[in-house]
Amino acid sequence: MNYQKTFYRKGIKTGFKNLDELISGFKPKELIILGARTGMGKTAFMLNLACNIAKNFNTNPKNQKAVIFSLEMAAEELGIRLFSSASKIPLKQLQHKNLNKNEKLQLLIPEDETTQLNILIDDDRNNKIEDIETKCRQMKYTKGLDIVFIDYLHLLKEDQNFNTYQAISVISRKLKKLASELNIPIVALSQMNRATYVREVKRPQLTDLRDSGTIEQDADVVMLLHRESYYQKPDINPHTNLIIAKNRSGQKGECSFNFYKQIQRFEAK
């Protein structure tokens, strides 16, 4: 028996060297939770991850695919954010189509690159967990599917009339089972509760995840975004920490990034 092959699961590289060195990429069967307060940059970080991963897919002859289930933003808005990050043109200028000639030329190459990425965006806000299960299975066994992103966990519904805590418990358990069944990583974004606002130390921890109990148990990896300047006015310091608060198959720790909010871009430090 090849024990190395049996026990080693190769992860999908995130495109951020510091993060890949810490967690060895996103591995098959893993449920990865990305938590942050509203406005901290979790959707932007997800898009940066998806773009990095899809670019790597494009160099791979296996024709790998990613899907984003967006329950908050329309596909067009996510696309504009992807273009902003790739072109380094401020998001507001793209949203208002306020571009000079040089910026229009600057946009052409990133636009060509991003439209060729193997990323499907499903922006049906009525998606329930059962819909996502069905769609992912269908994709996996017809066109192929290698990684799933969900933005975000607390907007997902389920068929039974549970209270919020019970519903999130059911949803997180189903996502973990789906990741195992399809042998793919699933990255789900999560809101944080308001505890960080009322305490002196703002650094987030596992228990700050909203309805955290079962999310904490089901997740293989929990990543928490933290910008100290978020709690200061003006919020101009780009320094951001990504805290690996849980890593079932490896070490915990943190990575440093700069988040350039105007262009929705994260760069490893």
End-to-end CA distance of the chain: 41
How far apart are alpha carbons 69 and 201 in whole angstroms?
Answer: 33
C-alpha pair distances (Å), 185 with each of 27, 58, 152, 235: 6, 18, 16, 33
For the chain, how many helices (H) and strands (E)?
Answer: 10, 9
Strand 66-70 and strand 147-151: the pairing is parallel
Around Cβ 228, how many Cβ atoms within 10 Å?
A: 13
> Which residues, 6 or more positions from 105, have their beta carbon under 8 angstroms from its beta carbon?
none
Active centre residues (catalytic) = 72
Q: Are 93 and 99 in contact (CB under 8 A)?
A: yes
Using DSSP's 3-state secondary structure scheme, residue 172 falls into helix
How far apart are alpha carbons 119 and 254 in whole angstroms?
Answer: 27
Q: Which residues pair with 68 in a beta bridge?
A: 121, 149
